[in-house]
Chains A and B, each alone.
Chain A
Amino acid sequence: MAKTILAVDDSGSLRQMVVFSLRAAGYQVTEAVDGQDGLDKAKAQVFDLVLTDQNMPRMDGLSLIRALRALSTYQRIPILMLTTESSDEMKAKGRAAGANGWLVKPFDPQRLTEVVKKVIG
């Protein structure tokens, strides 16, 4: 059975590229348009991986990660940030919030697939 990924980003074009890259690698990808939408979908279904942007309306990425880590079902689920942010300060905040990795945009589909494979197989 295909591994499931929740891709959270307020940019439609970005989500399209993430979906294209990961579906081509055989993953089942669900999209969320912002942090709140991501949290709602994560509560409805336990995904194998969450991939989230940081700067989004309604709920940003760090807030989403903290909210997910507060759920018993998401204590051990890998969460990766996919964001334009690249400062050490933000990465430290992401790590403290519970992120398992930090990917800086723009992403290369092959490298994204490799890191996802490394994290969830």
Chain B
Amino acid sequence: MTTIQKTSALQIKELLSGVSEHGNRHLTEAETDLIQTNILLKEAISKLSASFMAIHEAVEAQRQMVEAVLANQDVDNGAAAALQAHSLQVGVHVNAAVTGLQFQDMTNQLITRTMRRVIGFRDVLVAMGVESDALPVEIDEAALTLLVGKIAEAMQARSTILENELWKAVCQTHMESGDIELF
């Protein structure tokens, strides 16, 4: 068995600890940013939805008033037809708005998926740091090979878990309404 030079072993230990520490720090920041993004998106959609509902109610009330006026007065066919066309236009825009307002559901799923990957990777780096901290200053090649193997195994196990859990549920790249299929 060959013993790795003291300085080399120390450098390896420091490298692994460094990667673990820095990686952990940056990924924790990434997780924090993702959480904040999700909070802001949720709040934005809440405000947008409330405004949309209020506008819709107001437009609907106005439409009913116009219909009441039309029913009580002689209005030429052209004006009545124009009002009807306008009403249909409003309906089209309302439908488009309702479709668009569903973006938060999809982006929330994508952000949650990303967060889980970030957390998963951070767990691996933390585990790597723990293993490297436990390394003696003088180790032989066999022990180092064992350590590298353990780290690789931990990463592979975490990757497998994540791939199984993080089924890609959102494939949409635009906000057009999706397919409908009746069985």
Q: Could you give, for residues 170-183 of chain B, a 1 whenever the CB lies within 8 Å of some chain A CB and a 0 otherwise?
A: 11100111111111
Contact of B181 among A9, A13, A102 (CB under 8 A): A102
Residue of A nearest to B179 (CB): A104
Would you call A103 an interface residue if the criterion is a C-beta within 8 Å of the partner chain's C-beta atoms?
A: yes
- With contacts A106-B175, A107-B177 taken as known, whether A13 is within 8 angstroms of B101 at the C-beta atoms is yes
When distances are taken between beta carbons in the complex, the residues of chain B under 8 Å from A99 are 183
Interface residues of B in 28-81 (CB under 8 A from A): 42, 45-46, 49, 53
The complex places the Cα of A110 from the Cα of B95 at a distance, in Å, of 7
Q: Which 5 A-B pairs have the closest CB atoms?
A: A104-B178, A108-B177, A106-B102, A11-B105, A101-B182
Q: Could you give, for residues 84-97 of chain A, a 1 whenever the CB lies within 8 Å of some chain B CB and a 0 otherwise?
A: 11110001000100
Would you call A46 an interface residue if the criterion is a C-beta within 8 Å of the partner chain's C-beta atoms?
A: no
In the bound complex, do residue A84 and residue B106 qualify as a contact, i.e. CB atoms below 8 Å apart?
yes
Interface residues of B in 98-112 (CB under 8 A from A): 98-106, 108-109
Contact of B102 among A14, A54, A102 (CB under 8 A): A14
Count class of interface residues, chain B: 20 to 34
Given A102-B181, A105-B105, 19 more A-B residue pairs with CB atoms under 8 Å apart are A9-B105, A13-B42, A13-B101, A13-B104, A16-B49, A20-B98, A84-B106, A86-B178, A101-B183, A102-B180, A103-B181, A104-B172, A104-B178, A104-B179, A105-B178, A106-B99, A106-B177, A107-B102, A108-B99
Residues of B near any A CB (own CB < 8 A):
42, 45-46, 49, 53, 94-95, 98-106, 108-109, 169-172, 175-183
Counting chain B CB atoms within 10 Å of each CB, which of A17, A95, A105, A109 scores highest?
A105
Residue of A nearest to B96 (CB): A108
The complex places the Cα of A14 from the Cα of B32 at a distance, in Å, of 25
In the bound complex, do residue A115 and residue B182 qualify as a contact, i.e. CB atoms below 8 Å apart?
yes
When distances are taken between beta carbons in the complex, the residues of chain B under 8 Å from A11 are 104-105, 108
Count class of interface residues, chain A: 20 to 34
The complex places the Cα of A104 from the Cα of B174 at a distance, in Å, of 13
Residue of B nearest to A83 (CB): B169
The complex places the Cα of A17 from the Cα of B182 at a distance, in Å, of 21
Would you call A59 an interface residue if the criterion is a C-beta within 8 Å of the partner chain's C-beta atoms?
A: no
The complex places the Cα of A42 from the Cα of B106 at a distance, in Å, of 26
Shortest distance from the beta carbon of A19 to any chain B beta carbon, whole Å: 11
Main secondary structure of the interface of A (DSSP, over half): mixed
Shortest distance from the beta carbon of A24 to any chain B beta carbon, whole Å: 9
When distances are taken between beta carbons in the complex, the residues of chain A under 8 Å from B94 are 109
Interface residues of A in 58-105 (CB under 8 A from B): 83-87, 91, 95, 99-105
Residue of A nearest to B177 (CB): A108
The complex places the Cα of A39 from the Cα of B51 at a distance, in Å, of 32
Would you call A111 an interface residue if the criterion is a C-beta within 8 Å of the partner chain's C-beta atoms?
A: yes
The complex places the Cα of A21 from the Cα of B104 at a distance, in Å, of 17
The complex places the Cα of A83 from the Cα of B105 at a distance, in Å, of 10
The complex places the Cα of A81 from the Cα of B57 at a distance, in Å, of 29
